Chain A
Amino acid sequence: EPEVTQTPSHQVTQMGQEVILRCVPISNHLYFYWYRQILGQKVEFLVSFYNNEISEKSEIFDDQFSVERPDGSNFTLKIRSTKLEDSAMYFCASNYLAKNIQYFGAGTRLSVL
Chain B
Amino acid sequence: GDSVTQMEGPVTLSEEAFLTINCTYTATGYPSLFWYVQYPGEGLQLLLKATKADDKGSNKGFEATYRKETTSFHLEKGSVQVSDSAVYFCALSTSAGGTSYGKLTFGQGTILTVHP
Q: Which residues of A contact B (CB under 8 A)?
A: 4, 6, 31, 33, 35, 41-45, 48, 50, 55-56, 91, 93, 95, 97, 100-107
Is B106's beta carbon under 8 Å from chain A? yes
B101 contacts across to A, CB distance below 8 A: 31, 48, 50, 55-56, 97
Known contacts A43-B44, A43-B89, A97-B96; A102 and B102 CB within 8 A of each other:
yes
The answer to whether B43 touches A31, judged by C-beta atoms less than 8 angstroms apart, is no
Majority DSSP secondary structure for residues of A touching B: strand
- Bound form: Cα–Cα A100–B60 in Å: 20
The answer to whether B107 touches A100, judged by C-beta atoms less than 8 angstroms apart, is no
Is B99's beta carbon under 8 Å from chain A? yes
The answer to whether A43 touches B109, judged by C-beta atoms less than 8 angstroms apart, is yes
The answer to whether B105 touches A45, judged by C-beta atoms less than 8 angstroms apart, is yes
